[in-house]
Every structure is written in structure tokens, then in C-alpha cells.
Structure 1
Amino acid sequence: MDVKDSNGTLLSDGDAVTLIKDLKVRGSSTILKRGTTVKKIRLTDDPDEVDCRIGGTAMVLRTEFLKKV
């Protein structure tokens, strides 16, 4: 299974990615700003999603909003 970012670059476990769009967090008033770097992502069973930690909180992000660093 190939997991690709918004530009079509292959992603793997432990990669660092950058957000390409401001994202609202469901159930919270927090907004993740464009340009935020997320380190040590983990791939999931779904090729359109990755697990990560941002500010100590575990989150699942869609790969369509990520760009590999």
C-alpha cells in the first residue's frame, strides 16, 4: 500500500510533514496553522490518513493536507 502526500511523494513511518492548509480540530476550538511541522508520523491501515502527535495530543490527519519535508 502506497501512502502519498498532496504532491504525490511517498510517505513512510517516521517522516516529517508540513500542513498546507489551516485545519480546525473537531471537538475543540484549536486551529492547526498552515506551515506547522509534524514529526514522526505513523502510517495507518487507511492510505488517506496518518497518526501523529501535535502538542502532546494524538491526532489523525488526512494526507491531502500534508507535504513531506
Structure 2
Amino acid sequence: MSENEQPGLPPCPECASEYAYESGALLVCPMCGHEWAAAEAAEGGTDAGEGSRSVRDAVGNVLSDGDSVTLVKSVKVSGGGGGTIKAGTKVSGIRLISDGVGDHDIDARVPGFGKLQLKSSVVKRAN
């Protein structure tokens, strides 16, 4: 065990780095930037806890935390200065939420607009 590794934390599921650390309720890998829930690591993977709640994009792909998505249609932003997010805008590092306003189920940081909640029906998973 290296001196920087925290005992009891699993390695990063993306890059297998042993330098993961806790940040609130999430585990974070400083090597690749991947974030995952500590509960997922304890269950042995991301598929185990996803059965009860799966969020699908506009074309039917299953979304997960940390995915990159692209808007499939332009979205008007109300409040806080307003504006329109153009179709084709890529958003990286999304978080799926269950307590969003209305039927918004994605928490994201949109370039040029800041933190917003989006509906999964207006995005598709980016490759």
C-alpha cells in the first residue's frame, strides 16, 4: 500500500488507479477524474444498483453518472438570464438525480450556462 492510498477504498473502476479518495458521498479518482458512488463499489459494480432506476436518453440508451451527452434539440433556459442552449451542445460529466424539478432527471454543467437540470428526453449519449 502506498502512503497516499486511503485504506479500505476500492480502486477506480475506470483506470484501476489505487489513489481514489472520498468527496462527500462519492469516490473520486484523481488520475482520470471518474466519480462513482461508494455504495456501487460496495455492491461490486454499477450494474447491481441500477435495476430499480434506469434513465434512458432520447434514443433509448441507458445513461449513467459521468456520461457525456449531446442535446438533440435546442432548449430555452428560463430565469437567471435566460437564453437558448443550441442543439448539438456537448455536456460532459452528467449526474442522474431523482429529486429534480418536474421531470428533470439530469444535473449538468452546460458550457456558457453553468449548472442546470435537463430532461433525459432532450439528450443522447455521446460516443
Scaled by the length of structure 2, the TM-score of the pair is: 0.51
Gaps of at least 5 residues in structure 1 are none
1:29-67 per-residue CA deviation (whole Å, 9 max, x = no partner) reads 311000000000000015851000013611000000000
Provide the secondary structure at the position in 2 that maps to 1:15: coil
Q: Considering only aligned residues, what root-mean-square deviation do their CA atoms show, in Å?
A: 1.6
1:14 corresponds to which of 51, 55, 66: 66
Distance in structure 1 (CA, Å) of the matches to 2:69 and 2:110: 12
Instruction: Name the larger-Rg structure.
Output: 2
Structure 1 segments of 4 or more deviating over 2 A?
A: none
Provide the secondary structure at the position in 2 that maps to 1:18: strand
Scaled by the length of structure 1, the TM-score of the pair is: 0.90
Preserved CA contact (<8 Å) 1:22 1:34: yes
Distance in structure 2 (CA, Å) of the matches to 1:30 and 1:50: 19
Mean CA deviation greater in 59-68 or 28-37 = 28-37
Distance in structure 2 (CA, Å) of the matches to 1:68 and 1:48: 16
Higher share of residues assigned strand: 1
Distance in structure 2 (CA, Å) of the matches to 1:41 and 1:50: 6
| Length, aligned pairs only | 69
Gaps of at least 5 residues in structure 2 are 1-52
Distance in structure 1 (CA, Å) of the matches to 2:74 and 2:104: 18
Distance in structure 1 (CA, Å) of the matches to 2:54 and 2:120: 12
1:26 partnered with 2:78:
yes
Identity %: 39
Q: Which amino acid aligns with 1:66?
A: V
Distance in structure 2 (CA, Å) of the matches to 1:58 and 1:17: 15
